[in-house]
Amino acid sequence: MNTTAKNRSMAIDHREVLQPSPFQARVDEHCLVQNWMSWNGYKTARIYDTLASEYFAVRSTCSVMDLTPMEKYRISGLQAKDFLNRLVTRDISNLKPGRVTYVIWCNDEGKVLDDGTLFHLREGDYRLCAQHHQLDWLLLSSLGFDVSIEHETHEVAALAIQGPTAFAVLTGAGIADLDVVKPFDSVARTLGDIDVMVSRTGFTGDLGYECWVDPKDALALWDAIFALKQQGLFDIRPIGLGALDMVRIEAGFIMPGDDFNTAETAVRADRDRSPYELGLGWLVNFDKPYFTGKRALLAEAARPAQRRLLKLVVEGNKPPQDAFLYDAKQGSRIGTITSCVWSPILKTNVTLADVTFTDGKPPSEIWAEIYYQKELEWRATWAVCRISEKAFWIHPRSSATPPNNL
C-alpha cells in the first residue's frame, strides 16, 4: 500500500479570517456592493453589482465566476481507477482520459456524502472536485489501495465562463480549437504563455466552460478575458454565488447543504438522503463490482420509494422559500421546499422539494403553504404545485458541438 496525502498550499496569511483567491485582486475591484460570503474558507462574492444583471449575464451574454474555493483532490497511482470505482456509485471504469463525469459517493448505509465531478486527466491520474471537504473520507476509503491522494484546492485556480457567448469570448481571448470540445471533454490549451486546462462543464444549464490554471497565472487569465469587454467586443460580467444559485435551480441541479444534508453533517438519522431519494438513481450501477453503500442501495431499490427530491413549479408570484407542502389545502404535510427562485426567464416560481411518497408514488395533489410579508405584516396563502419531470431550463446550445451554431 502506498497511500499518501499532501496538503500543499500557496502562501497563506493565517491572520486573515477568509482566504483570498488567486483572482482576489480583480474580484475586489468588481465587487461594488461588498457582499461577501465564505466558501470553504475563501472570501467569495455573493453579489458583485445586482442579482438581475448577473443573472442575465449567464442567460444572455457571458458570465465569469471564480471557482477556486471548490474542493479539489488529485488521485493517482496504479490502482486509482479501482479505488475510484469502489468509492463512487456509477461505473467509471470506461471513463477515458480527457473526459469528465458527474459522480456521487455514499457511506455504508447508502446515504450521500457529496457529489462532484471526476476528471480523468491521463492514465492513472484523476481530479475529483467536491462541494465540501472530503480528504478524511478519501484517505479512509483508500486503505489497501496503491493510490496517492493530494489535496490541491490551493494549487489550482479555476474560472467558470458561462453563457451564450462563452465560446466566442474564450476564442476571442486566444484559446484555440474549442469548436471540437464536446460536453464533458477536458482539453489542454494555451493562452499566450499560459497553460490552461479547459473543460466543457458548468452548473448553469447553458453553454459553458471551466478554465483551470496555476494560481500564478490566474490574473493573466482574468485580464485576457476582460480585455474583450474593455475593447467593446463583448458584455462580460463577474457573477457571485447568488446568481449561480438562481441558474442552478432553473437547471434542476442540487446543492448539498441546501437541498439535502450530507451523511457526514446530518445529526438525526432521517435527515440524510440516498441517491434514490435525491432523484439520482441513474447514477447507481449495480453491475459493477462492490462499491461503498451497494448493499444498502440494493435493498432500497427493491422497496417502493418513500420520498423523492422533486422539481416543482409553484403557481403565483409569492416566494415559496422553505414552504411546507401538503396533499391538499389544510391537508396532511408531505414535504418541504428546499430551494426556490422566481425565474426571470420563465416568469414563474421554480423549486426543488423534498416530498414524501405513498406506495411508491407522489401525491396526486401538492399544495404549498406560503408565508410572505407585505407592509411589515406577515400573510399566508396557498399555491398549487406541478411536478416537472425535466429540468426547468436547459438550452440546446449547452450540448451543441460546435456551439456557435445556436
Q: Which residues, in sequence order, are CB contacts of 249 under 8 Å at separation 6+?
A: 339, 340, 341, 343, 350, 351, 352, 392
The set of cell numbers assigned to 377 is 405584516
* Mean pLDDT, the chain, integer: 95
- The answer to whether residues 214 and 233 belong to one domain is yes
pLDDT of residue 5 exceeding 50, the answer is no
Which residues, in sequence order, are bridge partners of residue 238?
Answer: 64
Alpha-carbon distance of 333 to 172, in angstroms, equals 53
Peptide bond into 275 cis (omega under 30): no
- Judge if 328 and 352 occupy the same domain: yes
pTM of the predicted structure, to 2 decimals? 0.94
Residues 192 and 45 in one domain: yes
- The predicted-structure confidence for 117-127, as pLDDT tens digits, reads as follows 999 999 999 99
How confident is the model over 2-18, as a mean pLDDT? 54
Q: In this structure, is residue 405 part of a structural domain?
A: no
Report the CATH number that the domain containing residue 291 is assigned in CATH.
3.30.1360.120
12's grid cell: 497563506
The answer to whether residue 269 scores a pLDDT higher than 90 is: no
CA-to-CA separations, 54 to 32, 209, 238, in angstroms, rounded: 13, 17, 7
Burial class of residue 43 in the structure, from the number of CB atoms within 10 Å of its CB (0-12 exposed, 13-18 middle, 19+ buried):
buried
Domain residues for the domain of 368 are 305-387
Kindly report which listed range (9-13, 189-193, 272-276) carries the lowest average pLDDT score.
9-13
Residue 319 corresponds to which cell in the numbers above?
A: 416566494
Residue 268's pLDDT band (boundaries 50, 70, 90)? confident
Residue bearing the bigger pLDDT, 1 or 386:
386
Residues 298, 319: one domain? no
Q: Do residues 338 and 294 share a domain?
A: no
Number of domains in the chain: 2
pLDDT band at 10 (very low <50, low <70, confident <90, very high): very low
Both 189 and 128 in a single domain? yes
Q: Are residues 78 and 192 in the same domain?
A: yes
Q: How much is the pLDDT for 406?
A: 59
Say if residue 7's pLDDT is above 90: no
pLDDT of the residue at 1: 46
Same domain? For 337 and 284 the reply is no
Q: Is the pLDDT of residue 405 over 80?
A: no
Whether the pLDDT of residue 332 is over 70: the answer is: yes
